[in-house]
Amino acid sequence: MLLYRMRLFLFLFLFPMTLLATPDGWDSYLDSLQDQYRQKQISEATLQKAFSTISYLEHSVSADTSQSEFVKTFEDYYTKRVSDTRIENGKKMWKANLSILNRVYAKYGVHPRYLVSFWGLETNYGATKGSLPLLSTLATLAFDGRRRTFFEVQLQALLQEMDRGRLPLEKLTGSWAGAFGHFQFMPTTYAQYGVDGDGDGMIDLVNSFPDAVYSAANYLSRMGWAKDETWGREVMVLPRFNWGAYVEGEVLPLKVWHKRGVRSATGHFLPHVDLKAKLILPQGSDGPLFLVYENFDRIMKWNRSTFYALAVARLADRLMGYPKLHTPLLKEASLTQDQVRKAQYCLQEKSFYVGDIDGIIGKGMRKGIRDFESQNGLTPDGFLDQKTYDKLID
C-alpha cells in the first residue's frame, strides 16, 4: 500500500497539471473546432499536427479572469516601465542591433528608439516573450467562452499561417493572453503585418529578431507613422491657463496652445511649426503635462492605453538621452474599483455622469468629474484625486 501511494504521489506530481484540470466538454469542443477549421480550408495534416499538441491551460483562464482590486496609478505604471535599468539595457540592445535597426529605419521610416522602446515595454528586450504553448493558450481561452469568437479567430489565423508554411509549430510559445514574439503580436496582427526579415521563407516572431522587428516597423508604418515627426513633448502651463476651457482630446494648432499659455517643460516657447496637438494630463493639472502629435495616436493603435503610449514615448526619449520628467510624478493614493464605482454613483446622483457603474475611469467619467470640479471650486482637470473624491462623496 505504501509503495502504491508513493507511485500515485509521483504520478500526480509529474503528470502535467493542465491535463488533470481538463474540464467537461473540452474534448468535444476541440472536435467542433477542427470541424469549423476544416470548413476554412485548413488542411487535415495541419489540423492533426496542431491539435495533437493542444491541452487545457488553467493558468490562462485564471490570469484572464483575475483583476487587481486597485485602479492602477500613472505613477506606479510609469516608474516600473521607464526605469533606469530598462533605459540602460535598451541602450545596450540598440547598440547590439544597430545594423538591423538602421536597415529597418531606412525601409519603414520608424526610428530605432521607438522600436527599441516597444521591444522593452512588450518583452523586456526579448527576455519575457512568454513560455506557454500558444495553440493551447488560444484554444483554452476560446473554450472559456467570455471572448470565444475573438480567440477562435486568433487560433484560426495561426493555423492558416502554419498551413501556408510561414509559421513554425516548434517552440511556438507566448503569453497567457495569446500574444507572442518579441513585440507580442496577436495572430491576426501577425497574419496581416508579419514580415520575413531574415529571408528564410518563414515569419518567426518568437525565435527571429529580424522577423520581429521588421514586422513591428511594418505595422507602425502602415498605421501611418510619420518619419519626420516626434510623438510630442512634456509641457507646462502658465498661471493664466484657463482649465475651464480645457476639453479632453481637443486637437489644436501649436500656436493656439501657445496663446492659451502652454509652454515647453522648461518654460520656453513652443516650436513655430505647423503641427496640431492635444493636451494630456495623466495626473491632472498638478502632474506632468504632455502635448502629443499624430505619432502618439499611432502608438495608441498598438495599445489603446494612454499610460502605455506615454511610457513608450518617454522611454524612446530617454534612450536618446533626454532628461527625466521636469515635473515630478505625483504620489497618488490608490483607489479601489469599489471606490471608483462609488464615485460614479455619486456623480450620477448629482447629474454629472450618465455612464455605467463599472469601476472604470473613462472619458465620460472624467468629463463628469470636470463638471463637478468646476461647480465646486476645484481645478476642473477631470482627475479623481483624493481631494476630489472626498468632496464628491461628502
- CA gap 107, 338 in Å, rounded: 49
* Per-residue pLDDT tens over the stretch 93-145: 999 999 999 999 999 999 999 999 999 999 999 999 999 999 999 999 999 98
Q: What is the DSSP letter of 53?
A: T
Burial label for 375, CB within 10 Å (0-12, 13-18, 19+), is: exposed
The DSSP secondary structure of 249-315, one letter per residue, reads: T--EEHHHHHHHTEEETTSPPPP-SS-EEEEE-BTBTTS-EEEE-HHHHHHHHH---HHHHHHHHHH
Q: In the chain, what are the domain boundaries?
A: 232-319, 337-393
- Give CA separation, 150 vs 33, 107, 159, 263, in Å: 13, 32, 15, 44
Structural contact between residues 185 and 179, judged by C-beta atoms closer than 8 angstroms: yes
**Positions in the chain short of pLDDT 50:** 1-20
pLDDT at 199: 96
pLDDT at 19: 44
- CA gap 290, 84 in Å, rounded: 21
pLDDT at 258: 98
pLDDT at 37: 97
pLDDT at 178: 95
Q: What is the pTM of this model?
A: 0.91
Burial label for 154, CB within 10 Å (0-12, 13-18, 19+), is: buried
- CA gap 62, 187 in Å, rounded: 21
The alpha carbon dihedral of 29, 32, 37, 43 has a sign of: positive
Cα-flanking dihedrals φ and ψ of residue 287, to 5°?
Answer: -95, -170
Hey, what's the cell of 373?
470640479
